[in-house]
Chain A
Amino acid sequence: MSKHYQIVVVGGGPAGLAAAIKASQSAGVSVLLIEREARLGGILKQCIHDGFGVVRFGEKLSGPEYAERFIKQLAQTGVTVSLFSYVTRMRRGDKGFDITYVCKDGVQNVTCDKIILATGCRERTRNAIFINGDRCAGVYTAGAAQNLVNILGVMPGKRVVILGSGDIGLIMARRLTLEGAKVIGVYEAKPTPSGLTRNIHQCLHDFDIPLHLSSTVTRVFGTNRLESVEISKVDDKMRPIEGTQTTVECDCLVLAVGLIPENELARELGVPLDNRTKGAIVDQNCQTLADGVYACGNALHVNDLVDYVSESGETAGGAAVAESKRKLVPVTLQGKLLYAVPQRLDVNSDLSKVIMYFRASDELSQQRLTVSVGGKTAFTKVYNKLLPPEMERITLDLTGVDLTDGEVTVKLEDK
């Protein structure tokens, strides 16, 4: 007979750790945490730079230190942790869900009442952004390069071109420079840098690394190893401009071109996804539209701060231990919003502290965000400046608001 757990958490990064800890705090709840790597902590293990935990702990921790706080807390709970374990199948069964995973002891089958998906993100690759050219060695995603340098102690190259000016690209530019590589430049297809201004300064300016905006890599050359890349200027629709090509010699191309939530398991469970976030559609308790399946952290939407990843893990872990009979109402978006999470509200559960995350679709100033129910304003806030790379978080108190037949709308408009 398969072992039964009340809750199975998939993924031992910041979201999964927080979810497992929170769930285990309810008396008598059995929790299994499944992690595919050798150690808990997820991507934080290789994010050795500091700046994590400013919201939650009020201090600037490195990634491994932030993870360690949760790993130590987890050790005090009754959560069963299974490392080197990879889930190969999940489906509904007689006792909730049947889960199959592979680990050092072989193939395991367990059953559970609820599943929490904390599977994080994957990086976009060269194929995802259609860079043509030779199939040579030396092209890495930023996360792969970071793993080589910070975990394995191996340098990915000597002369490096970085594509993408998000925080990961900027931090890798500094890291590779410190370890002795020549970072020739950071190239960004957008007309403005994607990362935080402070990272432009402390990662690029401090080390005289040039930033080239409205430019992208259009081709790579190299027989065995990368020898050069072709850089093109792009127009305002980010299309390469013919005749602007230049060649830059390098032996390493680092792609910091975005993250996509990893949702293979969610799809297997029939969880509907949101086209905007690329993650599951959830209610305020992080429960997906598939009853009993929860999603949190970067698997739900790409967060900019780990503090919010932990927060959504706690939301999922806390809610998954409770029984619920849901009545969902949709949240409709209006105006220049890239996305908002949650996309549904469960009127049968607590509405006093609904945490909502959103991003603006453009760089905007003097904006008013309004949450209304049935045409009545329930929440409003003015923002001087909104940027797509910066996620915003609001807390709504909707107790006493009649949500039963009123439409819930989130609207962003000029003030």
Chain B
Amino acid sequence: MEMVCIVCPNGCRLDVERADGQIKVSGNKCKRGEIFAVTELTNPMRSVTSSVATTVAGYPVVSVKTDGEIPKGKIFDLINLLAQITLTQSVPSGTVVARDVFGTGVNVITTTDMEVTNE
């Protein structure tokens, strides 16, 4: 089967073959392409970027990201989890707003420095 690697902007077209429980990958320009193809077939993972609400003046929302990858099937669960969060004070970029989501060991951290006035 054909697959497009999403690890970097190169977007290598991968040829993936499954035979006797083995996964054979070709078309990748680097090692990461092979790792991507195997996880994509077994347990696809994604980084997620989104935002959470705040009550801080000038910041109706603040941007956040996962500090690692979570299973692709958990993306909307994560979005629902983030919808429950409201920050009540300004925090610097990199502050954890949700720890170890779904037992993955991945945290959600802020990516905007709210200590800068925004009004």
Contact = CB atoms under 8 A, between A and B. Distances in A.
Are A and B co-members of a single complex?
Answer: yes
B74 to A, nearest CB: 13
B61 A153 contact: yes
B5 A64 contact: no
B6 A201 contact: yes
Interface in A195-250: 196-198, 200-202, 206
A178 B119 contact: no
A128 interface: no
B90 interface: no
A152 B60 contact: yes
Contacts of A202: 6, 46
Interface stretch (A46-54, A254-262, A367-375): A46-54
B58 A38 contact: yes
Nearest to A55: B9
Contacts of A64: 63, 93, 111-113
A365 to B, nearest CB: 14
A265 to B, nearest CB: 25
Contacts of A50: 47, 49, 65
B88 interface: no
A45 interface: yes
Nearest to B72: A206
Contacts, number: 82
A178 B111 contact: no
A6 interface: no
Interface string B64-75: 110000001001
A150 interface: yes
B51 A39 contact: no
A151 interface: yes
B118 interface: yes
Interface residues of B, number: 33
B61 A150 contact: yes
Contacts of A200: 4
Interface string B20-62: 0000000000000000000000000011111101000010110
Contacts of A38: 58, 117-119
A135 to B, nearest CB: 28
A192 to B, nearest CB: 14
Contact of A48 (B49, B79, B118): B49
A300 B64 CA distance: 31
B30 to A, nearest CB: 13
A274 interface: no
A152 B111 contact: no
B111 A197 contact: no
B11 A48 contact: no
A19 to B, nearest CB: 20
B9 A198 contact: yes
Contacts of B53: 153
Nearest to A65: B111
B116 interface: yes
B8 interface: yes
A68 interface: yes
Interface in B71-119: 72, 75-76, 79, 93, 111-113, 116-119
Interface centre among A38, A154, A178, by most chain B C-beta atoms within 10 angstroms, is A178
Interface in B2-18: 4-9, 11, 13
A62 interface: yes
Contacts of B60: 151-154
A51 B49 CA distance: 11
B9 A51 contact: yes
B80 to A, nearest CB: 10
Interface centre among A45, A151, A152, A196, by most chain B C-beta atoms within 10 angstroms, is A151
Nearest to B65: A62
Contacts of B58: 38
A178 B4 contact: no
A197 B12 CA distance: 9
B9 A54 contact: yes
Contacts of B93: 64-65, 68
17 contacts: A48-B50, A48-B64, A50-B47, A50-B49, A60-B47, A62-B111, A64-B93, A64-B111, A64-B112, A71-B116, A150-B61, A150-B63, A153-B60, A178-B48, A178-B50, A197-B11, A198-B4
The 6 residue pairs across chains A and B that have the minimum distance between CB atoms: A153-B61, A197-B11, A48-B63, A153-B60, A198-B6, A64-B112
Interface of B: 4-9, 11, 13, 46-51, 53, 58, 60-61, 63-65, 72, 75-76, 79, 93, 111-113, 116-119
Given A201-B11, A206-B72, 5 more contacts: A39-B117, A48-B64, A48-B65, A179-B50, A198-B5
